[in-house]
Structure 1
Amino acid sequence: MSPAVINLPFLYQERIKQLEHKLRAKEERIVVLETENAALHLKLAECRGQTGRSGNEAAQFYELYKEEKSLRTIMNIGIVQLHITMQSLTQSLQNLRLSAVEHAQEIQHQFKHYFQLLLNPLQMMQTKNQFLQELQARVTILDESFQEVSERYKKEKQRRKILHNRLIELKGNIRVNCRIRPLLPFDRQADSLSIQDRHGDFSEVTFSPDDETVLVKCCRPGHPITDRTFQFERVFSACESQHSVFEEVRPLLTSVLDGYNVCIMAYGQTGSGKTYTMMGPHSDDNATLPKEMCLGIIPRAAEELFWLILEKPPGSYYVEVSIIEVYNNDIFDLLAQDCYGELGVKRDVITTKEGKIEVPFLTYESVENAVELLNLVQKGLQLRVKQPTLVHAHSSRSHLVVTLTIKTYFASSHAVGLPDGERLKKQTTMKLQLVDLAGSECVGMSGVKGAALRETSFINRSLSALSDVLGALSEQRSHIPYRNSRLTHLLQDSIGGDAKLLVMLCISPCQRFTTESLQTLGFGTRARQVSRAPAKKINQTLCNKSK
């Protein structure tokens, strides 16, 4: 407060205080009113907002009302249309009911008709069913009979094996058959003078009057024609097929699986048909018959052997093959490779302490079917030494020995108590030897020279050694000269042992080769005179095999 004011009179000072008090009260009232005014403004704004929202909602409600009114109009129209559609569907349903009744009546009529048609077949089926039941009863009876017959068949099969081997033994453990090949165009050209001058036409001087006899008409200048006859177990004429020849061989294959060693050997001069008999025609021969009909003993024996094995329990027979060539008195393993990869490794033949013949380090290939076996044989034939001569365009210059080793395993009764990883089996090893000998030949007739002449010398010497062995056996000498030739040493077990031996003589029918034919027939006669003990069945040996 200023000094001037302090000096005022007291009344004025009181008045000023009252006025100041009122002023402060008015100012406080103004603040309150301003606060209330602000609150009213806020409330007014809020009311205005609510009024705006109410207007919007009213507008929305109005729009919804208009839409609802339109929908009611549309629904009324739809209801009318639906009512009309329902009336139409009701009428259609009534029509369908009438149609269904008519169809049901028609179907019932057809059902009765078809049921009548099926009734007769059903009755027939019932009759057949009764007949089928009768047949089933008969099948049951036949099945029981079949079981009985099967048992009898097994017994008869065992008996047949015994009789079969007795029959083979009665026929002789060394059997000799002879085959006369037909005349070839080459024979007619070579014999055109020698035969036509004497007989006026082309005729055979060697032929078979029956299936056990060979007749040779010997014609020498200045001498009358003389007939010489030779008897063998079977003689095949020129017109007989490869199948006929094999039918005489087939029983020996059964003997192999019965536990016997067997050797089949083809012997004869060059060009007499040995390789044709053993294998079949050459690949470049123009055969008029199908190849299957011309197959020789080796492919037919392979097929027959594996067919016989198929009849045995699976896994009980195993077949291995080895192929040996005896060339210039040396033995070659045609399935072995040397260090340069060339097939045909030189081997030797020895006699073991047990007296058996063995070729050390000889290669054996396992085969599971005839195709695998024949592929190996064809491989060996391609390596076989051949040389064309004046007598034969495919003259073999070596002896070929194909050996099939058949091993069979049978479970032993002694297997009980062995460890789980082992089992005891009985093992039997049989051998089937198929031998295609090189042909003997006259040097002057074959026209060979140089290396071929040396080959001819070794061939003739080995065949002569074979003849000497048979001669010694037939005369029952104390010493048999097996070791005079590696061929006879290799075949010692087959010729002089306990194997069943079949010698197939192959001869030419023409005059030009009469001397060679007589030599071959003499060899066969000498072989027939060999007397041996009956072939022995190979004993079973026990061996441990891992599972």
Structure 2
Amino acid sequence: VAATAVREEADALRAELAGAREALAALREKSEKTAARAARTDVEVADLKAEGMRLAARVAEQAAAVEAGRQEADAARAQKETFVLRASELGAQVASLQKRAHRSDALRAALHNKVLQLKGNIRVFVRTRPLLSRAAEDAVALVANQQPRDESMPPRGYRFLASDIDDCRTLEVFDTETERGGLPARKKRWRFGFDRVFGPEARQDDVYREVAPLVQSAVDGHRVCIFAFGQTGSGKTYTMEGSEAAPGINPRALDELFRIKAAREANGEAASVRVSFSMVEIYNEKVRDLLTPGGSGPDLALRQGPEGVFIEGVTVSEAETAEDVRAAMRLGKENRTIASTLCNAESSRSHSVLLVNTESRVPYPDPSDPTNKAKAKVKVLHGRLVLVDLAGSERVSRSGATGANLKEAAAINKSLSTLGDVFNALRLRQNASAAAQGSNGGAGHIPFRNSKLTWLLSNSLQRHGKALLIIQVSPAAADVPETLCTLQFGSRVKAVELGAAQAHAAGNLPSGGGGGGGGGKGASAQAQSEQREKEERLQRALRSAREEKEREVDLRRNAEAHGRGLEKELRKLKIEAARSSRSGGGGGGAQVQAARDAQ
């Protein structure tokens, strides 16, 4: 029994020992796991400490960036205030310069008009066309720039007299009278003085250089007429229209007109020039629209309106560029009536008239506002530029015209004769007015309505108008008698004065009447010298006004460019501030607000 108890106790002890060993193994395993977890925790703690340090460094960087952004925003805000103040100053300076430019433009227009008045509101040029091959054996002697002291006289020819080659104003014509009833031949000489004389070597731009000021006058609100007169085949169409290689007055005047238009509109929104045009021919005393398809429209009537004579039912087209008008002119040229005669293979059988109307809106400062604070007022000027290629005068005995051509020649000569009658009447009324010393005497009738041509041109041939007559001369010897008649006509025209030209502003239109003023052009040499000196003084003043205007325009453009530069710099600062705000993350709220303040 005792042994059994001992064994049982031993088994119990062995079982307890086995349980203790298992418990010890479990504790060891748990301890190892705890140690491993503790090691991992140490690593994580170390990593967290490193991340904390990195975050602390990043926070410090962000704080520095936010502070820098705040400082930049403050600087941008201060710079913006400076820019706004400077922009305001520049805006006031630009407004002041614009008003000064408007004053300079008004002064330029006044001086320009005064210069042309001194030159004469009716001016007469003479141009001798170059010799044609068919007339080479029948040419007159052409002596250029020979002084009056040289008394050598060719049997038949022309001599151009001038103080210098660029300022010829006198033309002499020589002829020899052979049929004198058995008496020796006698040489004859005629001397004519004009505003300008061009020899056969003159180029198209030489002629247009003298014509260009009249285009400016049309834009300034005056009624301007430029027309070429002469016998058939003397070069009228070439002078007015020219060729592709050598454009004449018409295309050059259109280019000049649209150049002036662009320059004015570039000076400000208030300034603008509106251009419209029509083109007609006067054929057998009938007015035909050359801008209708085929030129086959009905005969048009001339009417008297509040702004002068107008063509009822004519096609009126708006033009934005010179090419718009040139394209229409090409159509009109195709529709114009021409025919072949013994004098000219392509003789114009009608008078071609291009009417270009301008409506100019011109800002001008308020004279009652010396501080230039008020907005400039705008006046509207209505001008007209009439470019006429007259049909050539011709002698039926030389042209060989018969049938329809004979009727055309009769109508052409009648209208040209009426044109001469109009200038004679203007000269007589002028002389009568001068004799009456400014009284109302001499207001004689001017036969404008005796032909469609003179009636249509009456707006420019009355008071307030400006006209330029270009006398075309042929160098052919057989044409000398006709040349003398043409030059004598030009001399009568040169003796006419229209009085002071006035711009046609809205509400200030000319009346239907109006006489000449001032004395004739046959003044003494002293009076002519004084007039030339006045003209030169005014030209110098005009150049000075133009230079002053150009300087003011340059100043205004520089100010505007500087203002644009400031605005560009301000936009750049805004963009940089916005970028800084975005890079600053959530802590950059103050910088975002600063950028908004800068905007």
Fold equivalence (TM over 0.5): yes
Q: Does 1:501 align with 2:467?
A: yes
Q: Does 1:214 align with 2:171?
A: yes
- The number of equivalent residue pairs is 368
- The answer on whether the counterparts of 1:336 and 1:345 sit within 8 Å (CA) in structure 2 is no
Q: Does 1:515 align with 2:481?
A: yes
- The answer on whether the counterparts of 2:172 and 2:191 sit within 8 Å (CA) in structure 1 is yes
In the TM superposition, residue 179 of structure 1 has moved relative to its aligned partner by: 0.5
CA distance, structure 2, for counterparts of residue 538 and residue 369 of structure 1: 24
> Which residue in 2 is equivalent to 1:261?
223
> Which residue in 2 is equivalent to 1:186?
134
CA distance, structure 2, for counterparts of residue 430 and residue 459 of structure 1: 28
CA 1:406/1:436 → structure 2, altered by over 3 Å: closer, same or farther?
same
Q: Does 1:297 align with 2:249?
A: yes
CA distance, structure 2, for counterparts of residue 367 and residue 343 of structure 1: 23
CA distance, structure 2, for counterparts of residue 219 and residue 320 of structure 1: 51
SS at match of 1:311: helix
The correspondence of residues 326-475 of structure 1 with structure 2, limited to 5 A, is: 326-336=282-292, 343-352=296-305, 354=306, 356-409=308-361, 426-475=379-428
Query: Rg bigger for which structure?
Result: 1
CA distance, structure 2, for counterparts of residue 475 and residue 158 of structure 1: 35
CA distance, structure 1, for counterparts of residue 156 and residue 130 of structure 2: 9
CA 1:218/1:369 → structure 2, altered by over 3 Å: closer, same or farther?
same
In the TM superposition, residue 152 of structure 1 has moved relative to its aligned partner by: 7.0
CA 1:307/1:253 → structure 2, altered by over 3 Å: closer, same or farther?
same
SS at match of 1:391: coil
In the TM superposition, residue 309 of structure 1 has moved relative to its aligned partner by: 0.5
SS at match of 1:400: strand
CA distance, structure 2, for counterparts of residue 380 and residue 345 of structure 1: 15
The correspondence of residues 517-532 of structure 1 with structure 2, limited to 5 A, is: 517-532=483-498
AA paired with 1:446?
Answer: S
Question: Which of 204, 223, 228 is the equivalent residue of 1:242?
Answer: 204
Q: Which has the higher contact order (CA 8 A, sep 6+)?
A: 2
CA distance, structure 1, for counterparts of residue 99 and residue 307 of structure 2: 42
> Which residue in 2 is equivalent to 1:174?
122
SS at match of 2:186: coil
CA distance, structure 2, for counterparts of residue 307 and residue 343 of structure 1: 34
Moved more, 307-316 or 228-237: 307-316
- The answer on whether the counterparts of 2:103 and 2:365 sit within 8 Å (CA) in structure 1 is no
AA paired with 1:295?
Answer: P
TM-score (norm 1): 0.63
Q: Percent sequence identity over matched residues?
A: 36
In the TM superposition, residue 206 of structure 1 has moved relative to its aligned partner by: 2.4
CA distance, structure 2, for counterparts of residue 397 and residue 342 of structure 1: 15
Moved more, 525-534 or 168-177: 525-534
1:45-93 deviation digits (Å, cap 9, x = unpaired) = xxxxxxxxxxxxxxxxxxxxxxxxxxxxxxxxxxxxxxxxxxxxxxxxx
CA 1:458/1:533 → structure 2, altered by over 3 Å: closer, same or farther?
same
AA paired with 1:468?
Answer: D
Question: Which of 483, 501, 506 is the equivalent residue of 1:540?
Answer: 506
AA paired with 1:513?
Answer: D
In the TM superposition, residue 161 of structure 1 has moved relative to its aligned partner by: 2.5
AA paired with 2:318?
Answer: S
AA paired with 2:355?
Answer: T
In the TM superposition, residue 435 of structure 1 has moved relative to its aligned partner by: 0.5
CA distance, structure 1, for counterparts of residue 311 and residue 97 of structure 2: 47
CA 1:412/1:155 → structure 2, altered by over 3 Å: closer, same or farther?
closer
Question: Which of 104, 107, 122 is the equivalent residue of 1:159?
Answer: 107
> Which residue in 2 is equivalent to 1:55?
none
CA 1:259/1:243 → structure 2, altered by over 3 Å: closer, same or farther?
same
- The answer on whether the counterparts of 1:204 and 1:509 sit within 8 Å (CA) in structure 2 is no
- The answer on whether the counterparts of 1:405 and 1:429 sit within 8 Å (CA) in structure 2 is yes
In the TM superposition, residue 426 of structure 1 has moved relative to its aligned partner by: 4.5
Question: Which of 234, 237, 242 is the equivalent residue of 1:272?
Answer: 234
- The answer on whether the counterparts of 1:335 and 1:343 sit within 8 Å (CA) in structure 2 is no
- The answer on whether the counterparts of 1:323 and 1:403 sit within 8 Å (CA) in structure 2 is yes
- The answer on whether the counterparts of 2:302 and 2:311 sit within 8 Å (CA) in structure 1 is yes
SS at match of 1:335: coil
CA distance, structure 1, for counterparts of residue 289 and residue 99 of structure 2: 46
1:129-160 deviation digits (Å, cap 9, x = unpaired) = xxxxxxxxxxxxxx9xx989998776554433
Q: Does 1:230 align with 2:230?
A: no
> Which residue in 1 is equivalent to 2:70?
none
1:85-143 deviation digits (Å, cap 9, x = unpaired) = xxxxxxxxxxxxxxxxxxxxxxxxxxxxxxxxxxxxxxxxxxxxxxxxxxxxxxxxxx9
- Mark the runs of 5 or more structure 1 residues left unpaired by the alignment: 1-142, 193-201, 282-290, 415-423, 543-547
- The answer on whether the counterparts of 1:268 and 1:274 sit within 8 Å (CA) in structure 2 is yes
AA paired with 2:129?
Answer: R
In the TM superposition, residue 263 of structure 1 has moved relative to its aligned partner by: 0.7
The correspondence of residues 28-177 of structure 1 with structure 2, limited to 5 A, is: 156-177=104-125
RMSD across aligned C-alpha pairs, in angstroms?
2.9
SS at match of 1:266: strand
CA 1:342/1:430 → structure 2, altered by over 3 Å: closer, same or farther?
closer
CA distance, structure 1, for counterparts of residue 97 and residue 123 of structure 2: 35
CA distance, structure 2, for counterparts of residue 245 and residue 344 of structure 1: 35
1:159-202 deviation digits (Å, cap 9, x = unpaired) = 3322211010011110111101122112124459xxxxxxxxx9
CA 1:248/1:169 → structure 2, altered by over 3 Å: closer, same or farther?
same
